[in-house]
Structure 1
Amino acid sequence: MTIPRILKLDAGGLPVEWVDWREAVSLYFTDKIAWEAGSEKIRLRGGRSRDTGIRSFLEIDSIIAVRDRSHRFARNLVPALTRRELFHRDGGLCLYCGTRLSFSQMQIEHIMPRSKGGEHAWTNVVSTCEGCNRFKDDRTPEQAGMSLLALPYEPNLAEWLILANRRILADQQAFLERLAPKRKARFDA
């Protein structure tokens, strides 16, 4: 059984990062947990007592707030633009033709080509397949007669945390969704 990651919050209730169960246990034992917010408990089993034969266990919450200097969200941290994060943001799709891509097939496409002053920024890049990337070439989508299935956006930390955890628990997802901005996707079918 794989133990899910724990959502770590700052004491004010803003998300900081995902931690594994070992780090969460360390936070519990060093008395750094300010409060818990998850509806799901994760039960960790230990060894058996030599005296009683009773097996030890510890229940940790799926969402924990800590008393430390964790303030990532308060600084409006934007995740680094990497190939993997772009793949997660775009859901593994070519945002021109809608083809489902594997990570190794995905290419990064600059909507406004860099040769024409386009930046390497979240709002100017999308995931694309090789065929669409080659067809668009060094042109804008309008010049190439192509349209985007969705507009690119700069994810905030809550969105990035949702995208970064493939095994997110329902209570963690609901907590983070409340902090993600409501976006309208544009779909041209």
Structure 2
Amino acid sequence: MEARILRLNMAGQPIEWISWKETTCLYARGLIGWTLGGEVKKARGGYSRLTGLRTVISLPAIIACEGEKLAPMRLNPPLTNPALFARDNYQCMYCGKTFPYDALSRDHVHPSSRGGKDRWENVVAACKRCNQHKGDSLLEETHLELLALPYRPNPAEYLALINSERIRGDQMAYLKPQFSRYTPPGKICA
């Protein structure tokens, strides 16, 4: 898998993951203000007619970009099943068992059929069996109990969740201090 580069705004707030090609373009446009972390890749360009030397750019793991258009921080990360299941550690929040991605479903703690919203604070990963058993019932109408309360990840947590397979140690070291103090231990890769 191709390593991703963590893009920050100039204040150091995490924005998104970008490819080495996108990073090279930002370098060429002079939009990178500062960098951190080890080298992810060397981008090689063409040869100079004058010197015969090849252009080489060392791409770091973390970049901070200048410019208003490149700096918006996503305060409310989008709710997707891959991010939700990663937040809940691929564990059913009712029976406690761990499942592969395909065996999980999104459960609305307060059912949408009864006015519950499709938002981070109202959804949990549930195995299909538990989700079907709960149906459109409220928790107090069943024998089921939540193992952990649902929460909305902050921007740093969200970026760790959606890239957990490919995140580098230096990138995690940058993001981890920004995790919420309410994030349950072990919910986001260490």
**TM-score when scaled to structure 2?**
0.84
Matching residue of 2:31: 32
Matching residue of 1:129: 127
Contact 1:10 1:16 in 2 (8 A): yes
> Does residue 57 in structure 1 map to residue 56 in structure 2?
yes
Give the match's secondary structure for 1:41.
strand
Matching residue of 1:180: 179
Aligned equivalents of 1:9 and 1:23: distance in 2? 14
RMSD across aligned C-alpha pairs, in angstroms? 2.4
Aligned equivalents of 1:33 and 1:46: distance in 2? 18
Matching residue of 2:137: 139
**TM-score when scaled to structure 1?**
0.85
Aligned equivalents of 1:54 and 1:61: distance in 2? 22
CA offset at residue 133 of structure 1?
1.0
CA offset at residue 104 of structure 1?
2.0
CA offset at residue 50 of structure 1?
9.6
Matching residue of 1:8: 7
Contact 2:20 2:41 in 1 (8 A): no
Aligned equivalents of 2:116 and 2:52: distance in 1? 66
Give the match's secondary structure for 2:178.
coil
Q: Render the CA deviation track for 1:139-187: whole Å, top value 9, x for unaligned.
A: 222321111121110112111100011210111111111222111549x
Unmatched 5+ residue regions in structure 1?
A: none
Unmatched 5+ residue regions in structure 2?
A: 186-190
**Number of residue-to-residue matches in the alignment:** 182
Give the match's secondary structure for 1:182.
coil
Residue number among 144, 154, 162 corresponding to 2:152 in the alignment: 154
| Percent of residue pairs identical | 37
Matching residue of 1:117: 115
